[in-house]
A and B are shown apart, each in its own frame.
Chain A
Amino acid sequence: MKYFRLIWKNVWRKKIRTSLTILSVFVAFLLFSLLSAFGFAFRGGVDVADAERLIVIHKVSLVNLLPMSYLNRIAATDGIAFVTHATWFGGYYQEPRNQFGQFPVDPDAYFAMYPEFNISTEQFEAFKRNRTGAVVGQELADRFGWDVGDRIPIQATIWSRTDGERTWEFDLEGIFSTDDPRGSTAIMLFHYDFLEEARAFAKGMVGWYILRVESGADPVQVAKSVDLLFANSPAETKTSTEAAFAQSFTKQFGNIALIVMLILGAVFFTLLLVSGNTMSQSVRERINELAVLKTLGFGDRTVLGIVLSESIVIMLIGGLLGLGLGWVLVQGMAKQMAAFLPGIFLSPGAILGAVGLMIGAGVLAGIFPAVKAMRLTIIDALARA
């Protein structure tokens, strides 16, 4: 609008002061975007969880295994489209710190359960044909530089083999990816049959079941009926939605969200102080000019609007720059840390929230000086000059 030139020129009155303020805003919003992206990861991909997938674990703890015999009984329950299973293998590649998820599964069923994973048909068929074959996610392949055809040895920490060996070798038959930028592919999938055949103990046991609810069925009801099936048996179950399951972990980390909020609170409080100080100095220096504007016929509310706009402009410049750099960094970090903390992501909601914050902070920082400017009586102001 037509006052923009005036607002812009006023913002840059004192170049150094404005630049420093903008830089403070920049830092604050850079922090905001980074913390928000990490916070998202800590929510354990709750937002990506499929509402119609349920996870069934041993009631006492995830660490306990469930019998394979449960598969058919669950499949027969009302409201369930189909079931499959997975188990935590818990090995590492070359060094103990290279841990990531390896899961022995039923290939067809697992990929049907997780349609978000994309893999070429040939690779998938090759995988199915090879008992010792495995497929890995793109993120994992990138991290270790694996190619299809590589032989990948995994050191098992839990599962020793019947032959006493603890190294399990797999042939990499395919690499899969996902379209959803929030999802993680830092995992490896291989044949359950291979595990079953070669493992030294816990034959016939799996880690957990995944089931898909029939459309129209109530997930909560279905979950209850599954648990009812196995109540009072030696291995009781606990069934929950994928989202709830993911959350149960993140909740164990204590209130990460709260800590992040507190830190951001401290940062923004300081930011408001700095910007508020800048704005009030800026207005104090210009009492005269603001009075002149009023003599020219600029209304009280127009003057208020001009000062507030200056504050908001400063916030927007610094904030958008900070958000921009934050975005770039998040892309990089998400790749780097995909194995330890998957799902680092700056969501559209967070971005929108940031912009809202910029405007809100702009108003808060500028409101007192702006009201002061609005209330100026021309005569007093001019007389003071």
Chain B
Amino acid sequence: MRAINQMLAVTWLNLRNLPQRVGSSLVAVIGVAAVVLVFAAVLSMAQGFERTMITAGADDTAIILRDGATSELTSGMSNEQVLIIADAPGVLKDGDQSVLSAELYVIVDVRKISNNTEANVPFRGVQSGAFDVRKNVKLADGRMFEEGKNEIVVGRAAQQEFVGLETGSTIRFGQSEWQIVGSFEAGGSVSESELWTDVRVLQSAYRRGNSFQSVRVKLQADSSLEELKAALDADPRINPDVFTEKEYYSGQAEGLTQFIKLVGYPLTILMSIGAIFGALNSMYSSVSVRGKEIATLRALGFGPFSILLSTIVESALLALVGGIIGGAVAFGVFNGFQVSTLNGPSFSQVVFDFAVTPDLLVDGLQAALVIGAFGGLFPAIRAARMPVAQALREL
């Protein structure tokens, strides 16, 4: 009990004369703030991207591709195969219509508003079930495209990110012109980065005959996946890969997310090491400036352990302040910042927001505390070990 009291007393003293050591303390705080800021900013990209991709995926929707395809783009299905899927067990029916959407997409070039360079945007042909097989998709403005016509509805995020996609405008791809008749929202998911039209029209415009790339079906129940899979595997006319949409999108997101994390974590570790050196520097200087004071406290009877702990606590507190500042700036500046980038497997742009999540902030604070603790450890040991008599003599 006495030890804790001592420690609190010394810590309080330390903090009270902090203003005298503003210079070096500020250095430690800012160093930690920078680390947490960079950490939160970089990893919020991964978080945001992942969230956008995974939001798209539902558990009660299955997506069916050709066996071995790594993504929709490399998959191919015939009309017969689509019909087989439509009749398979496990597929939800609305009356006697199966709830599904057989789809196909191509890549088109559209300019980004931000840097006016051309980017690959997915142009997807869908069937009438497209809204039903996806979660949270609804029309935002305008109207749905009419079947058989060169009409497009654009995802809201795509509209914000790329040039010339306003409702009511006309856009030209290759030799054909298309009317943008409306826009849709999809809960922030990757679908919002796309342009949709009637699949028949797309097939015809891009000479895809009667082929598709994927089929999305609504399952009767979450458990129906197995049933559906078994039935399709058994059928020799079709060779499918069946996933829940959620699984599929996680897989698609993995590449870029892993990459960002692969860069982000080592970067943060390196920066933290640098910050530790900075913190060490500050704390050593702090300890040496406080030499007389520490010696006096020791002479008065405060044990070395209380000196040690109080130094570490001071360092940790400074680091914590730095961490909070860094996190706050990251949140204020980056959270919700919209950006788009190329996703390898789909070979097209995905629009997403930086997401500075609570998890991330907590991680950042933890890093800050670690920096603070390490930064304070050796100076604390030196402070505790300072030879009292000598320090007093230097008065």
Contact = CB atoms under 8 A, between A and B. Distances in A.
B16 to A, nearest CB: 22
Nearest to A238: B109
Contact of A277 (B24, B107, B119, B173): B24
A234 B271 contact: no
Interface string B256-298: 0001000100010011011101101110110000000000000
Contacts of B341: 252-254
Given A273-B31, A274-B31, A253 B342 contact: yes
A38 B110 CA distance: 27
A270 B33 CA distance: 9
Given A27-B277, A38-B263, A63 B115 contact: no
B174 interface: yes
Interface in B94-143: 106-109, 114-115, 117-120
Interface in B153-191: 173-175
B163 to A, nearest CB: 14
A31 interface: yes
Interface in A205-227: none
A77 to B, nearest CB: 22
B277 A24 contact: yes
A50 to B, nearest CB: 22
Contact of B274 (A92, A157, A267): A267
B321 interface: no
B214 interface: no
A24 B73 contact: no
A273 B23 CA distance: 10
Interface string A64-99: 100000000000000000000000001010001001
Contacts of B267: 31, 35, 263
A63 B107 contact: yes
Contact of B74 (A21, A30, A157): A157
Chain A contact residues (Cβ within 8 angstroms of B): what range?
35 or more
Given A27-B271, A267-B274, A17 B339 contact: no
B70 A252 contact: no
Nearest to A28: B274
B271 A31 contact: yes
Contact of B118 (A16, A155, A248, A263): A248
Contacts of B73: 63
Nearest to B285: A281
A105 to B, nearest CB: 21
B106 A61 contact: yes
Contacts of B31: 270, 273-274
A379 interface: no
Given A60-B174, A270-B275, A16 B284 contact: yes
B391 interface: no
Interface string A348-368: 000000000000000000000
Given A166-B68, A255-B115, 18 more contacts: A17-B285, A20-B281, A20-B284, A24-B278, A27-B274, A60-B108, A61-B108, A64-B206, A249-B342, A252-B342, A270-B34, A273-B26, A274-B27, A274-B281, A277-B27, A281-B24, A281-B285, A340-B259
25 contacts: A20-B277, A20-B278, A24-B278, A24-B281, A28-B274, A38-B263, A60-B108, A61-B108, A63-B106, A90-B74, A166-B68, A236-B174, A251-B117, A252-B341, A252-B342, A259-B42, A263-B38, A266-B34, A266-B38, A267-B271, A267-B274, A270-B31, A271-B274, A273-B26, A274-B277
Interface of B: 23-24, 26-27, 30-31, 34, 37-38, 41-42, 68-70, 73-74, 76, 106-109, 114-115, 117-120, 173-175, 206-207, 259, 263, 267, 270-271, 273-275, 277-278, 280-282, 284-285, 339-342, 347, 349
Q: 8 nearest interchain CB pairs?
A: A27-B274, A157-B74, A252-B342, A61-B107, A251-B117, A24-B277, A20-B281, A270-B34
